[in-house]
Structure 1
Amino acid sequence: MLIVHRFAAAIAMACIATFFSATVLVEIFGSVESISTVKRLIVWPGLLILVPSIAFTGASGFALAKGRNGVLVSRKRKRMPFIGMNGILVLIPCAVLLNLWASAGVLDTRFYVVQAIELIAGAVNLTLMGLNMRDGFRIRGRFHTCI
């Protein structure tokens, strides 16, 4: 179960980091066509990879934490629902809308407001997932807290 958890978490983080960096880079250096291509790839096949990896990360994490207590486990448990809801309620709808608008060539103020929301939500999820990873390493004894 631990291997599934680690693999799924790594895939989820890699997806979000790739979506985030691709979005920023294509906005700086790309054309309208390349923006549309990135938005399309984020939705398909990107979400097909991301959504199950987050689901497997959460499910395997809860299974691994079953019967365990402690501050670190509690923190991870509290973050995971927020990560999932942020993905379902913010990131997925933003990705779908941005793909629709970009494919129609509509890169207006509305597009960039939604994209800003998507980037902020993605950064929040990356941060929370990074904190969960750090705490997971601490639970396993890989990192020690220095005081």
Structure 2
Amino acid sequence: MKKLHAFASIISFLCISSFLISTIIVDLFCSYETIAILKSLIVLPGLIVLIPAIALTGATGFRISRGRKGKIIEKKKKRMPFIALIGILIMIPSAILLNMWASAGEFGTKFWWVQLIEVVGGGVNLFLMSINMKDGFVLTGKLKLKR
């Protein structure tokens, strides 16, 4: 269960970070056509990989932590709803909207505002996920905290 949790969390983190980095690079340096291709790839196959990976990360994390107590576990559990809400309410709808607009060649103000919201949401999720990963390394003894 722990290996599955680690694998799913790494896949989730890599998906979001690759979406975020590629979005920034393509938005800054590439054509609208390239942006449209990237937006399409983020939705399919990207979300098909990301959504199950995040769900599996959450499910296995809650199962592993069942019956365990402590500050680190409690902090991880408090961060998870924010990660999920950002994903469900911001990241997924933004990816779908941006893909629709980009495929139609609609790169107006609404596109760039939603793109900004998606990038900020992705950054926040990566930050929260990285803290959860660090805490996971502490819990498994792979990382020692200095006191």
Name the TM tier (shorter chain).
Answer: over 0.9
Aligned residues: 147
- TM (norm. structure 1) is 0.98
Distance 1:49 1:82 in 2: 20
How far the C-alpha of 1:143 sits from its partner, in A, is 1.4
The aligned amino acid for 1:37 is I
The aligned amino acid for 2:109 is T
1:140 maps to 140
How far the C-alpha of 1:130 sits from its partner, in A, is 0.2
How far the C-alpha of 1:81 sits from its partner, in A, is 1.2
Query: RMSD of aligned C-alpha atoms?
Result: 0.6
1:47 maps to 47
2:72 maps to 72
The aligned amino acid for 2:8 is A
Q: Which runs of 5+ in 2 are unaligned?
A: none
**Residue 117 (structure 2) pairs with residue 117 (structure 1):** yes
How far the C-alpha of 1:28 sits from its partner, in A, is 1.4
Distance 2:76 2:145 in 1: 16
2:14 maps to 14
1:60 maps to 60
Deviation string 1:102-129 (CA, Å, 9 cap, x unpaired) is 0011111110000000000000000000
Q: Which runs of 5+ in 1 are unaligned?
A: none
1:2 maps to 2
How far the C-alpha of 1:138 sits from its partner, in A, is 0.5
**Residue 23 (structure 2) pairs with residue 23 (structure 1):** yes
Among all aligned residue pairs of Structure 1 and Structure 2, give the percentage whose two residues are the same amino acid. Answer: 49
Q: Where in structure 1 do 4 or more consecutive aligned residues deviate above 2 Å? A: none
Distance 1:100 1:144 in 2: 46
